[in-house]
Amino acid sequence: MDVLKANGIDRLVDLRERPYSRKAGFSSRQLTQALKGAGIGYTWMGKLLGGFSISREQWLMGCQQVAEMAKKETIVMMCMEADWNQCHRKKLAEILASEHKIHNINL
């Protein structure tokens, strides 16, 4: 949480379709509690932006919702892919920057 606070993050947006993990502290329930204690919001968007089984309409709706969040707060997007260059987070960040003029997103 210290890294997020040090970088001015207001909200973590979880893009995982399945927001649970075998790694301690990475399941949505644990993340929510830890982030709340650090004064950082948590939003799960896996239903719309999970990357596995979503429609184009869901993707676009999710992009719009993240854009609305990013207009109000500095967000970070999280999923299970370690390399953001190989992840759908990169595409989402590109769409938010080019179509919504939002640049306060961290990957």
Domain ranges of the chain: 2-106
CATH fit for domain 2-106, picks 1.20.120, 1.10.10, 3.40.50, 1.20.144: 3.40.50
Q: Does residue 107 register a pLDDT over 60?
A: no
Over residues 56-106, the pLDDT tens digits come to 888 889 999 999 999 999 999 888 777 777 777 788 888 888 888 887 666
Q: Given its phi and psi angles, is residue 44 left (phi above 0), alpha (psi -120 to 50 degrees) or beta? A: beta
CA distance 56 to 30: 30
How high is the pLDDT of residue 88?
Answer: 75
DSSP string of 28-90? Answer: HHHHHHHHHHTT-EEEE-HHHH-SSS--HHHHHHHHHHHHHHHHHS-EEEE-S-S-GGGSHHH
CA distance 23 to 67: 29
Confidence category of residue 9, pLDDT binned at 50, 70, 90: very high
In sequence order, what are the residues at sequence separation of 6 or more whose Cβ sits closer than 8 angstroms to the Cβ of residue 29?
Answer: none
Confidence category of residue 25, pLDDT binned at 50, 70, 90: low
How high is the pLDDT of residue 22?
Answer: 66
Of residues 42 and 54, the one with the higher pLDDT is: 42
